[in-house]
Structure 1
């Protein structure tokens, strides 16, 4: 231990300049300077305090010490350094267990359709530690599984009722059907075998049969052997004949048409006589003629010609001829009131002739 009091004491006895070792030698301090100065020193550290965290790695703890070994006195120096210090502290925290993933333990109990399979899991994600809780819940579970739908073979449902007969009379048919839906084939199952429909005959009252015409017969002979005539043909209501109240045939049982033969021979026939021609003379007696033709009708197609003459003649009678009157060049004759009048020098002379000569 350093004793500053001794040096102070010596300086006091051997009063010399600059020999005070930093002590104020004022008279009022001389007495106290004679007392011994004690520097302070640290006492022992106290025990560590509690960790700031109950667990984990982020906590710290604290301890302290006092400058009391000894406490600084009489101007002694205080303790140097800190009066407390910290230290990290940690302790493992409790770790609660957690389940890991489910893992298949047993494969599905079936290869198709609906079954079950088992899964297991471990309490290792993480495992419980340092007093942590165990995992809650089962470690094994059973779950439904369905690898793939099973093939289902089809089976027939019930037959439907028979349908109504396909006809209202006579012989017909009636039908019924069924479906492959009990169940329907699925997932590669087989279809139903057999027919989905059935037919059976049905018999009702005989139907009315309407009559139908037969074919026409061949045309008969023409009614004439030449020129245009008529020929006939017939048919019967027998294809089929009407029965069971059916209607008879509509239409005629006989047909007719014109028939054309070679023209018949036409014998010639006389036409009318023409008018009589002029008399062959103008006075006294003469002859006059008339004609006719074989054109009513004209003979044709090998017919006979007309029999008889084509020309006829007869006598014609005129007034007597005049020979004793004036020369012809001075005689002018006109017909006037049935008489031949000679006009000569404006003198009228009655004549019995038609023309003057």
Structure 2
């Protein structure tokens, strides 16, 4: 699909004759702080420079007024990012939509919305890569299949019709048929925990609201997990599922309520938007990446995350105006910092004052 979008397929019409737009299921993490309308207007190929037209399209796609005017891309759930990418593609007046795993991160309601949306496009062709067999059954009129001789062959009909013609392809409906097998080691017991029922992770009365948002993403959430827990976090797109997980892992912190982890607990987190972890290592083998990440015996990604969090905390201290003995003071430099139980203690120097002040 990228080859088609980049005009690298020999014999395929150029974009000047047939406009193809590649729609990925994720948006570049570097755009996280960009407002939605600005993101679309800054995209190459978008044929409008009118913010009001972009706003109107986003509202038509189900975005609320608050989302359009106040939220940045990084605050959107995976499903809303997919809708944003589709809205951008349609503002490029595409002849062909190249959709890469479009149902990833979509809840049932939005999968149905996407099916109806694609079926309603009477002047646009969709070429879709997907592992969602039900979705392909509902939207596809033709199937292009990689044959054993490494050639492409077109079959008329949806996925069910294709399987009738090519019975060996029935594996597309079965999870067990995957050629890639995953095996995970047994985690065993946690040091200091004698039973699988004892709590190792707790959240109590937690509220969370993203800066700039007009509503709380989570309100008064309490829960706990043990080694015996097997928990599914379910809900519609934008309900706060990923936010909840990020609070549990410590990627973000709430100012209301508390999150407690057993001191020996280690959490492995595979995010739905995990590509930013490896985008600087695309030329490395998996083995080389793992060696780089854990070369010192510690997780470099975890250290980087802590540095970012510390940097944000330091910035807040630097921007704060203090009143001491009736006089306003501003921090010039953070000389040192010490971690306390629930906070930090800073050693600082003031603007225009000696170190003894």
TM-score tier (shorter): under 0.3
Task: Kindly name which structure, 1 or 2, has the bigger radius of gyration based on alpha carbons.
Answer: 1
State the TM-score, normalized to the length of structure 1: 0.11
State the TM-score, normalized to the length of structure 2: 0.11
> Which protein has the bigger strand share?
1
Q: Which has the higher contact order (CA 8 A, sep 6+)?
A: 2
> Which protein has the bigger helix share?
2
